[in-house]
Amino acid sequence: MKYREIMERMDRLAAQPVKHIPEDVMGRVVAEIKKKTPKSAKMFEAARKVIPGGCEHMLSHTVPHPVFIDRGEGPFLIDVDGNRYIDYLNGGGPVLLGHNPPALIERMTEVLKKKGSFHGLCDEYETLAAEKIVQHMPAVEKVRFLQSGTEADMAAIRLARAYTEKKKIIKFCGTYHGWSDQLVVDLWVPHSGRFMANGIPESVTGDTVIVPQNDLDALRRAIEENEKDGGTAAVLVEPLGGESGTQPLEEGFHKELRKITRENNIVLIFDEVVTGFRVALGGAQELFGIDPELTVLGKIMGGCFPSSGALGGKAELMDILNSGIMSGGPSCFVAGTLAANLFSCAATYFTICEIERTNAIEKAAATTDRLVNELNVLFEDRNCPFFAYNYGSILHVETTGALHIDLTSEDGLARIFDRKTAVTNHQTFLRNEGLMTLMGKGFVTSAHGEREIKDTVEAYNRLLDAV
């Protein structure tokens, strides 16, 4: 589905009254969840005594309480009470091979037995993993491993400033680039500004400039304005648009963005934490034919083993990370005791090998294509304005159009919260039907198949009955 059709459908959905689940139905759903999950409820009460809020995971469903997971198996999560869910959360995207893929687990068990989990010095797996990334990512010549996507974004903007000797960073409305101080501004909801920036001084976010997505004229104006106060070092972009394409980018946007940044000697940073090794082996830069200076990578490349993040890019920039203190050249300090640890690097190497071997990207995308088609047939047959679309194996099922409401419009905030309440209830209803979803967004793995498609469509059919 192309940008224009997505936006037209979103306009129609946002213009209609919200399809809420009736209170009595939600009451029944919540009662059923409580009955099914007594062990999770007990564990949550214990967690609340020692963990702030009792829950540390942004993706957790919290109505009526978080569900505690016993294990993952292929396309499924099994909770501590034995309930099984088709998983579309998948850690917010990094699970591509399915949970606990046997071949990868076997390889990593061998590494753990043979080498241990950590030694803190150089290891061959660093080179092997970096070589795999360079092999597939068109714009990446060298790689620096870090511990998360957030750290990689931090390193990217620091390196861009060191390289250009400029000051300002531009990001787009509603995009997410981790939770470091300078980038916690205008997250998720476009035009929300510093709503999430409690504890962060305005001086820290003052050099982060926000520009609306798809507005190239606004980008040019921001760059021109920045010249009066230190210039623009970098532009950060989620290649599919905010929230992995929930707020999509118009066709041709990337080429114009690349042209503008080149004309102004600005570093273009592709944040490929979600798209890298999911939409293509070469990420979104391969998909769109764009050549950014820097690329941010995250947990997919490491098969969801912990401490997995990386910054890749052109050698001219990346060599600045090899501290210039001794050489007299420019330098940019990044560090981390667990960064580039042998276990994470081995996981990255073997995960990419497994993605290659199994054609996991293509398989997951084909499954998602079929699921989207069947969901849209269902919605049309039921004369419902809901609709689904996808970017490869990244799934979007729009039931409220919450992020399409303009926050700055009259009653914008109230309308957004009303739709967020509805989509949260839709999510809770679907969990009771055996689906783990993420506010209308989801990620399909190579372990999902025809049975999961069928069960998912049936669950959405029951949601339509409810609304």
Using the structure block, give the residue that is written with the tokens 């101080």: 181
Torsion over CA: 34, 39, 44, 45 (sign): positive
Nearest residue to 315 via CA among 141, 68, 119, 114: 141
Does an H or E element contain 266, and which? none
Instruction: Point out the catalytic residue in the list 79, 87, 271, 349.
Output: 271
Tokens of 414: 């109230």
The span from the CA of 188 to the CA of 176, in Å, is: 7
Total Cβ atoms within 10 A of residue 231: 17
User: pLDDT value at position 323?
Assistant: 54
299 part of the active site: yes
Instruction: Point out the catalytic residue in the list 132, 168, 171, 299.
Output: 299
List where CATH 3.40.640.10 sits in the chain: 102-358
Whether residue 270 contacts residue 238, with contact meaning beta carbons closer than 8 Å, is answered with: no
The span from the CA of 114 to the CA of 319, in Å, is: 32
CATH class of 3-82+359-466: alpha beta
153 part of the active site: no
Instruction: Point out the catalytic residue in the list 88, 125, 176, 460.
Output: 176
β-sheet bridge partners, residue 418: none
List where CATH 3.90.1150.10 sits in the chain: 3-82+359-466
Using the structure block, give the residue that is written with the tokens 């998720």: 188
pLDDT string in tens for the chain (467-residue length)? 999 999 999 999 988 999 999 999 999 999 999 999 999 999 999 999 999 999 999 888 889 999 999 999 999 999 999 999 999 999 999 999 999 999 999 999 999 999 999 998 999 999 999 999 999 999 999 999 999 999 999 999 999 999 999 999 999 999 999 999 999 999 888 888 899 899 999 999 999 999 999 999 999 999 999 999 999 999 999 999 998 999 999 999 999 999 999 999 999 999 999 999 999 999 999 999 999 999 999 999 999 898 899 999 999 999 999 754 555 667 898 988 899 999 999 999 999 999 999 999 999 999 999 999 999 999 999 999 999 999 999 999 999 988 888 888 888 889 889 999 999 999 999 999 999 998 889 999 999 999 999 999 999 999 999 99
114 part of the active site: no
Domain 102-358: assigned CATH number: 3.40.640.10
